[in-house]
Structures are given as structure tokens and as C-alpha cells.
């Protein structure tokens, strides 16, 4: 019998509607630091099955590599937890308005960016593909990509993956300081 019952991870499916329950489970374990072999042992399947599951999740989220899959998974979870639960913050004054959205709270993490740039980075941090981000931001995919290039330049970050690392570190710091 496997140590991990995927049904326990069902709540996370709300954050990842693109993924199956098993993909969410495997991505969660992988993001927590488990290897393919360890994840397989926890689930009672082979390491190869886990590798295929993670690759399928990566493709469904339209992500270029597994490191980004880990960062996107953790960022969505942190954004959901940290930014949508204002009652957990010590300083409730900046989050006291009930109408403040997760996006509005995220924007405060990036004061060096314009509002539209911060909204674009928010979509990126959650792993939203450029075409969907463009629809949400009333833009085109080309404009989104140009905006991301501007963001990289403005923040002096060399790559999109480094931007994901930077955003996740900002989320961690913000969580630790509240």
C-alpha cells in the first residue's frame, strides 16, 4: 500500500484545474523536494511513471522545464495562501479592505513595476500562458512578451526562470516578515 493517498491532494486541484489529481499529487511531492524515486515510493508506482506524470503536467501548463514547474506550483500555493488570506497578516491595515484581490496584493510586492507590468508578472508567476494572459490583460501575446522583456530589463534579471525564482523569493520574504 502506498504512503500517499492522492485524494488528500484534491483541494490543490482548485489551484491547478489544468492538471489531473495524480499530476497535482506528483507535482506537490516533487516541489517539496522528493526525487522521482521517492515520489514513486510514496505513491506506490515506478520512478518512470512519476517522470512521465511530471512531464505531462509541465506540458499541460506550457512550461519549458521541471524547475519552472516546481516554482510555478509553489508560487500558486503561496499566492493563494498568503495573498488571499489577509486576516493572517500582522499589519491588517494594508489588506483590510475585503475587496482587495489576490492580484492587488501581489502588485505591492513589485513597486518598481507599472501596474500593467505587475499584473503581467502575476500571470507569469502563476504559470498562465502568454495567450491567456493577453486575453486577461486586454493585450496581445506579442505585447505580453515585450512587456516581460521590459520587466527583465527593469529588474535587471537575465532570464524568465530567474524571474520566477526572484518572485518566489519575494513571496517567501513577504511571508516571513508578516
> What sign results for the dihedral spanned by CA atoms 95, 139, 20, 4?
negative
CB hemisphere CA count around 122 (13 angstroms) = 23
Q: What is the pLDDT along the chain (178 residues), one digit of tens a residue?
A: 467 777 888 888 888 999 999 999 999 999 999 999 999 998 899 999 999 999 999 999 999 899 899 999 998 888 877 655 544 444 433 333 433 466 777 788 889 999 999 999 999 988 888 999 999 999 999 999 999 999 999 999 998 888 988 988 888 777 766 6
For 34, phi then psi, to 5°, come to: -75, 145
Q: Where are the domains of the chain?
A: 6-60, 90-177
Q: Which residue, among 64, 68, 56, 1, has the nearest Cα to 25 in the 3D structure?
A: 56
Q: Report helix angle 160-177 to 115-125, nearest 10.
A: 100
Q: Report helix angle 47-60 to 21-31, nearest 10.
A: 100
Total-model pTM: 0.75
Options 3.60.20.30, 3.30.70.920, 3.20.20.80, 1.10.10.10; which CATH number does 90-177 get?
Answer: 1.10.10.10
Q: List alpha helices for the chain, DSSP H.
A: 21-31, 36-43, 47-60, 66-78, 102-107, 115-125, 130-136, 141-155, 160-177
Alpha carbon distance 100, 176 (integer Å): 21
DSSP calls for 146-160:
HHHHHHHHHHT---H
Amino acid at each position: 500500500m502506498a504512503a500517499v493517498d492522492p485524494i488528500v491532494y484534491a483541494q490543490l486541484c482548485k489551484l491547478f484545474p489544468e492538471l489531473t489529481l495524480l499530476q497535482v499529487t506528483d507535482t506537490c511531492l516533487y516541489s517539496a523536494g522528493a526525487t522521482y524515486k521517492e515520489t514513486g515510493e510514496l505513491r506506490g508506482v515506478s520512478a518512470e511513471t512519476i517522470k512521465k506524470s511530471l512531464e505531462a503536467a509541465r506540458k499541460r501548463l506550457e512550461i519549458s522545464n521541471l524547475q519552472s514547474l516546481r516554482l510555478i506550483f509553489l508560487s500558486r500555493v503561496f499566492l493563494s495562501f498568503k495573498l488571499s488570506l489577509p486576516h493572517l497578516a500582522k499589519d491588517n491595515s494594508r489588506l483590510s479592505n475585503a475587496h482587495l484581490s489576490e492580484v492587488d496584493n501581489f502588485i505591492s510586492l513589485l513597486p518598481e513595476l507599472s501596474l500593467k507590468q505587475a499584473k503581467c508578472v502575476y500571470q507569469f508567476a502563476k504559470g498562465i500562458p502568454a495567450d491567456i494572459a493577453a486575453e486577461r490583460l486586454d493585450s496581445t501575446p506579442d505585447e505580453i512578451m515585450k512587456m516581460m522583456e521590459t520587466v527583465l530589463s527593469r529588474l535587471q534579471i537575465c532570464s524568465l526562470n530567474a524571474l520566477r525564482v526572484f518572485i518566489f523569493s519575494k513571496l517567501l520574504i513577504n511571508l516571513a516578515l508578516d
